[in-house]
Amino acid sequence: MDDLEQFRLETRQWLEANCPESQRQPMRQEDQYWGGRRGKFPSEDARLWFERMRDRGWTAPEWPTQYGGGGLSPQQGRVLKEEMKRINARTPVYGIGLWMLGPAVLEYGNEAQKQQHIRAIVNGETRWAQGYSEPGAGSDLASLQCKAEDKGDHFLVNGSKIWTTAADKCDWIFCLVRTDPDAKKQEGISFLLIDMDDPGVSTSPIPLISGESEFCQTFFDNVKVPKENLVGELNKGWSVAKALLVHERKLMAEMGSDSPRRVLVPNVAAREYLEFENGKITDNRLRSELTDYDMQMQAVALTHFRTFEEKAAGVRSAAPLVMKYVGTEAEKTKSELLLAIMGSRGLGWEGDAFTAEEIDTTRLWAMSKAMTIAGGSSEIQLNLIAKNVLELPQS
Ligand X SMILES: Cc1cc2nc3c(=O)[nH]c(=O)nc-3n(C[C@H](O)[C@H](O)[C@H](O)COP(=O)(O)OP(=O)(O)OC[C@H]3O[C@@H](n4cnc5c(N)ncnc54)[C@H](O)[C@@H]3O)c2cc1C
Binding site for ligand X (CB under 6 A): 130-133, 138-139, 161, 163-165, 370, 373-374, 376-377, 379-380, 383
User: Whole-number minimum distance, CB 216 to ligand X, in Å?
Assistant: 9
| 49 CB burial (10 A radius; 0-12, 13-18, 19+) | buried
Q: Which is nearer to ligand X, 72 or 176 (CB)?
A: 176
Query: Is the distance from CB of 109 to CB of 120 less than 8 angstroms?
Result: no
User: Whole-number minimum distance, CB 337 to ligand X, in Å?
Assistant: 21
In whole angstroms, give the CA distance from residue 91 to residue 46. Answer: 10
Strands 189-195 and 215-226: unpaired
User: Whole-number minimum distance, CB 329 to ligand X, in Å?
Assistant: 13
User: Whole-number minimum distance, CB 322 to ligand X, in Å?
Assistant: 17
Q: Which is nearer to ligand X, 131 or 346 (CB)?
A: 131
- The beta-strand segments (E) located in the chain are 128-131, 147-150, 154-165, 172-178, 189-195, 201-206, 215-226, 230-231, 276-277, 280-281
Q: Which is nearer to ligand X, 117 or 119 (CB)?
A: 117
User: Whole-number minimum distance, CB 137 to ligand X, in Å?
Assistant: 7
Q: Which is nearer to ligand X, 106 or 380 (CB)?
A: 380
Q: Which is nearer to ligand X, 303 or 368 (CB)?
A: 368
Which residue type sits at 85? Answer: K
Q: Which is nearer to ligand X, 344 or 395 (CB)?
A: 395
Phi, psi of 376 (to 5 degrees): 105, 120
The SS3 call for residue 137 is strand
List, in sequence order, every residue forming a beta bridge with 308; answer none if it has no partner. none
Which residue type sits at 349? Answer: W
In whole angstroms, give the CA distance from residue 24 to residue 91. Answer: 10
User: Cβ-closest residue to ligand X?
Assistant: 138
User: Whole-number minimum distance, CB 139 to ligand X, in Å?
Assistant: 3
